[in-house]
Chains A and B, each alone.
Chain A
Amino acid sequence: MVEQSDVEQAEGTGVHVRIRGKELALAISEEHAAALKSLTERIVREPFTKRPWSELAFFLVSGGLAGIGIAFIGLTMVTGVALAVTFFGLSLLGLSLRSARGMGGWQRGLARSMLGQPVEDPEPFVGRRGFLGWLQSALRDRVGWRAVAYFAVQVPWTILGVFVAVSLWWDAFACLTGPIFDRGGGGLAVWGLVRGIFPGSPFWFQPGGFFHAVGVFILGAIFFFAAPWVTRGFVTVDRLLIRGLLGPDPMAARVRTLEQARTQTVDASAATLRRIERDLHDGTQAQLVALAMRLGMAKEKLEDTDHVDLDRVRELVDAAHRGAKEAITELRDIARGIHPPALDIGLEGALATLAARSAVPTEVSFDLRARPTPAIEAIAYFCVAELLANVAQHAQASRASVSCAQQGTWLRLVVRDDGRGGAELSRVGSSASGLAGLTDRVHAVDGRLHVVSPPGGPTVVTVDLPLSP
């Protein structure tokens, strides 16, 4: 038994406690004392704030609505399942699921307006053509089934919750006002829980006694301050249920993310193809046409056997020769942009080549146990190539480092430079081929890209790529 006595709050740091005659000085740090104080204040204030009352109101309204809802859903669901072998049963089941979905909407609306909890709407129902199509879509509607699951849990929970919360509030009210209105003779309107707590009270606790009145008042106070928290406990569970079962389907959200990633990948590859086509069209193809043209002219000049202008022919062949060499160089650059040949010898060698080619002195550390898939290798390679190009162009750095290491099931690339910093995701790469393009590529394989670049540097870009897809 702990009795608190002589609470001397000397600068709020110590409490003397007497336990079974022994005096103990409990030292409480100021931090804890402050926390204790604010907690006490919070408990005392809570019943006088708006929140517990709107939570109680939410509970009552949503409980009432759910009561009506479950009566309908339950009836149609049970009948539908019972008659599931018949067409009528299936139709009833479809109707039930559609209603559950609709009523889920009410619940979300209530949570939004009364609890201020934003719950995203799930993906809308899309029925296929015709009644059979509609029925098929309705029976397969995950949102509908999840709403049924919600109501199956929420209704009993709300009934229990409403009973407990209302009892508490009512008892609090009854106990606090009891001593005032109690005219003696057992007229105390104690209801619910209190009856259970005091079945056979000792004599001085009998209605009408002084202790009885004081005890009831204290009990009322405890109920009064506890009621908001108990209500909140019940409401919180309901909130979690709403978020988990009435919000967007996590599976559907995942599908959507994947779809987005796929679109980005498709866009990125379309853009890459366009760029390659443009490079070929403007560069190599034009070079080759000009080359063929010069050789054609030279050929014609040589055919005129009477007076061959050898100087002119030499000039033309010279120009054609130059053009051929330029075309070869251009083709090589374009091919390297499609698939870096350096990757054929492995990522480590490829990164070392990149570092050696970089204008800023760059160190590479490499620690991977197994070779990643070609796709991951290529993304890692292009990330490092782009990031090192950025370092050379924008960072004004004197040194850079690249590290490539395994972290669990992730490949972690860190590119660091000692430059002036201030790089931002949107600004580092100015075009789609810059950092934005990298981010798309990295997201496409569910990876992450993270930039830390305070003004004055250093800049650290971290890229995480999954090793096992």
Chain B
Amino acid sequence: MVGALRVAIAEDSAILRDGLVQLLVDRGFTITGAVGDPEALRSSVAQNPPDVAVIDIRMPPTFTDEGLRLALDLRDRHEGLGILLFSQYIETRYAAELLADDAAGIGYLLKDRVADVSDFVEALERVAIGGTALDPEVVTQLLGATRRTDTLSVLTPREREVLALMAEGRSNAAIASALVVSEGAVEKHVANIFAKLNLPVSENDHRRVLAVLRFLES
């Protein structure tokens, strides 16, 4: 665990905001700001830059996609700032917009995920250091919507599991522990997947995510 990561929170529901602060402080994070609307987060981030911002998608004034607009804006202005979008619904369109040019330092999770505290904290840390964290729901939707079913059918069931975890943004080590196999086995699966799908091999985890997502979207 990275010590004292700095986190800013924009969430209009006071109950959830307080809960998040409690959880993160408990886990040793430093909270630079916990606010209820986009403007407040903008100024909080400018004054006291965090490593990662947790942003609710539906916020005042219109309760539609303020959080997404804010995220895109903050990413342009503050290089290296990790952004974790936090929502009660998954909209694949939002994920696509968010990951349009880069998947580095981007996360998109269902709010329910906080119930599994460790997973949530791990995802947050990953985003903070420039990784990617996509909700399994997003990946399921992408896999369900892809027109590449023919190509995907050449993968073994195990390889498909690995592909899904890769798309979520997990590292080989994390995939290995999730599937309870050795890291070496995961590496072999990954190599097979890239070969079968004819994808450019990439060292970087978030580039790998992007490659997989591009493949699924096309």
Contacts and interface: CB of A to CB of B under 8 A. Distances in A.
A290 B17 CA distance: 9
A466 interface: no
Contacts, number: 47
A286 B13 contact: yes
A62 B112 CA distance: 77
Contacts of B4: none
B215 interface: no
B88 to A, nearest CB: 6
B111 A297 contact: no
Interface in A264-297: 278, 281-282, 285-287, 289-290, 292-297
B114 interface: yes
A8 interface: no
Contact of B117 (A281, A285, A289, A297): A297
Interface in B148-189: none
Given A282-B13, A286-B15, A286-B16, A293 B88 contact: no
Contacts of A295: 115
A300 B112 CA distance: 16
Interface in B23-68: 23, 26, 58, 63
Interface residues of A, number: 17
B80 interface: no
Contacts of A292: 112, 114-115
Contact of B19 (A281, A282, A293, A299): A293
Contacts of A281: 58, 88
Interface string B1-24: 000000000001101101110110
A290 B117 contact: no
Contact of A289 (B12, B26, B111, B116): B111
A294 B19 contact: yes
B114 to A, nearest CB: 4
A398 to B, nearest CB: 38
A296 B114 contact: yes
Contact of B15 (A278, A296, A299, A323): A323
A293 B13 contact: no
B118 interface: yes
Given A281-B58, A293-B19, A323-B15, A300 B111 contact: no
A293 B117 contact: yes
Given A281-B58, A285-B88, A296 B116 contact: yes
B87 to A, nearest CB: 10
B115 A278 contact: no
A297 B13 CA distance: 19
Contacts of A285: 88, 111
Contacts of B16: 286, 289-290, 293
B58 A293 contact: no
A287 B111 CA distance: 11
Interface in B69-120: 88, 111-112, 114-118
B5 to A, nearest CB: 18
12 contacts: A281-B58, A282-B13, A286-B13, A289-B16, A289-B112, A289-B114, A293-B115, A296-B114, A296-B117, A297-B23, A300-B117, A300-B118
